[in-house]
Every structure is written in C-alpha cells, then in structure tokens.
Structure 1
C-alpha cells in the first residue's frame, strides 16, 4: 500500500479506542485500528464503505 494520510473521527474520545481511515483512493477505503497504527489495514470497496457510513448515520444499526 502506498503511503496515505490517516485521519481519526472527530467523535473520538482520545482514549485510543477508535478507527482511522485514509481518504484519497477512489476504489478502496483503508481502515485501521488507531491503537495499532503499524498493524494491518482493512481495505473496503469505496461504495460499500459509503453505504456503511450512510447506514450508521441513519441509525440503521440501533445503539450500542
């Protein structure tokens, strides 16, 4: 994977229990655990990631 610029959610509490994403690729959305930035990244198809984010914003998964 080429070097990317990672960003963490503005909703992160600073305790390290968050994911980071890297924008910029039109085909995939890289996602990683913010507690392990040197660890592996998961690559999701961009359209699937957009659908997931829309579902979260629409509260389709309920509350946790």
Structure 2
C-alpha cells in the first residue's frame, strides 16, 4: 500500500486558528504552538518560523502523537 499524504490545511484555516503556546516550550527559543482547526484537525508550528506553515494532524494521528509525547516514546 502506498503511503498517504499528510492532510493539508487551507491558508485561511491556519491564519484564523487560535494558536496556543505549548506548556512544554521554554521561555526562550524552541517554542511550539498548537491549534484546533475549523476542520476539527489539529496543527502545530514553530513560533520562530510561523510563515513556514504548520504540520496538520487528523484526530487519530493527533491522539497518537500526544500519547507518544506523554508516554516518553517521542522525547522532546
């Protein structure tokens, strides 16, 4: 089975999203923001390069990502 492409978000979704700084981000560099998009997907982006876009997750992938971070399987 060929790999599937990650979902894309429209520029309007990204621009109109309410972004929140991750509680894991420090006071200086290395800050990450996350948002729930109007399509019920989630997105993350680097605060230093907001104009570079965001990584978008469908709900099951977002839950797996968060579970991986919380369990330590995806170290920060």
TM-score (norm 2): 0.64
Structure label with greater radius of gyration: 2
Asked if the contact 1:26–1:46 (Cα under 8 Å) also holds between the matched residues in 2, the reply is no
Displacement of 1:24 after TM fit? 4.9
Greater strand share, structure number = 1
TM-score (norm 1): 0.73
Which consecutive unaligned segments of at least 5 residues does structure 2 have? 1-11
CA RMSD of aligned residues (A): 2.1
Question: For residues 12-31 of structure 1, what are the structure 2 equivalents within 5 Å?
Answer: 12-25=25-38, 27-31=40-44
Rounded to whole Å, the distance in 2 between the matches of 1:54 and 1:25 is 23
> How many residues align structurally?
63
Q: Give the ranges of 4+ consecutive aligned residues of structure 1 lying more than 3 Å apart after TM superposition.
A: 24-27
Rounded to whole Å, the distance in 2 between the matches of 1:12 and 1:37 is 15
Match of 2:60 in 1: 47
Match of 1:35 in 2: 48
Rounded to whole Å, the distance in 2 between the matches of 1:5 and 1:27 is 13
Greater helix share, structure number = 2
